[in-house]
Structure 1
């Protein structure tokens, strides 16, 4: 009888587990046809909606030109690199001028890096560096540098599309 007790306990435990699984199982999934119809309705709804403010289109006569590579800016404290800031930039330029911007991209990258280094040196990437006021100052400096390099009428604005800081 002593050898039968572990076997009985295994069966009781397994039965309790199966019973709990059946009792607690989620509601059944709707059949595949209904799921496909729901996804088609959702796709139609998304396609028909108006663009949100985040999906803003460029002003009339302008296009966005994404800079090919990210910008990496070291943040130096006590003569040591304390952090790296990685950014992606886009330029809002007159429509049809993307080729002109890509031809001058090395010069633009140089000018942008100088502005970013200056911003880092004055403490622009310290603390809450993503607040609106700080980023507006940085955007203004980048826009001014781009307009000096490419011409006032060609570049309308510089957009910061991604920004991240990695502390060490």
Structure 2
């Protein structure tokens, strides 16, 4: 009788054990997740009896601006240079006679000032559309043929991308930085 029950109970025990282990490894609930960022954002140890923080830091709270889910936004004071990095890369197909030959992959960053950084993040989709349109024009006119990493070729690409970005927004965009550029065979 025991020999018949053991093979039936083994999968049940494995499922229960797997569910328990999965529950233990699961991300903490929302309440626990809010505790960690509060400490990381600059809330330091409570002051001790002598008025100094127990960990040697000031007790001043440094509030971080909320992340709105748009790109990597470097936080800068108004008037200082700041950079907006698009959260995903740009993929530009290189077509020849109707066939996909290669794919260009680029990571772009926009240079602006600290006061315009948040507004620039809110215009991410319009900027991305304009830049991708310009990248496709560049690809279709042979801009990625040959030695596309030559300095003069990249200068032309940066200038065209800057004009495209400035055309869709009145925010100050000072430069388009090409952080990564690669050609992947199709």
- TM-score interval for Structure 1 and Structure 2 normalised by the shorter chain: 0.5 to 0.7
Shift of the alpha carbon at 1:62?
1.4
Distance in 1 between the 2:82 and 2:181 partners? 21
Shift of the alpha carbon at 1:68?
1.1
2:175 matches 1:154:
no
Distance in 2 between the 1:147 and 1:79 partners? 32
Gaps of 5+ in 1: 1-59
The corresponding residue for 2:91 is: 72
Distance in 1 between the 2:180 and 2:107 partners? 5
Distance in 1 between the 2:157 and 2:119 partners? 24
The corresponding residue for 1:163 is: 181
2:114 matches 1:91:
no
Q: TM-score, normalised by structure 1?
A: 0.62
The equivalences for 1:100-139 within 5 A come to 100-139=119-158
Q: Secondary structure, in 3 states, of the residue corresponding to 1:96?
A: helix
Is the helix fraction higher in 1 or 2? 1
Q: Whose Rg is larger?
A: 1
Shift of the alpha carbon at 1:96?
2.7
4+ runs of 1 displaced by more than 6 Å? none
Q: TM-score, normalised by structure 2?
A: 0.56
Gaps of 5+ in 2: 1-78
Q: Secondary structure, in 3 states, of the residue corresponding to 2:176?
A: strand
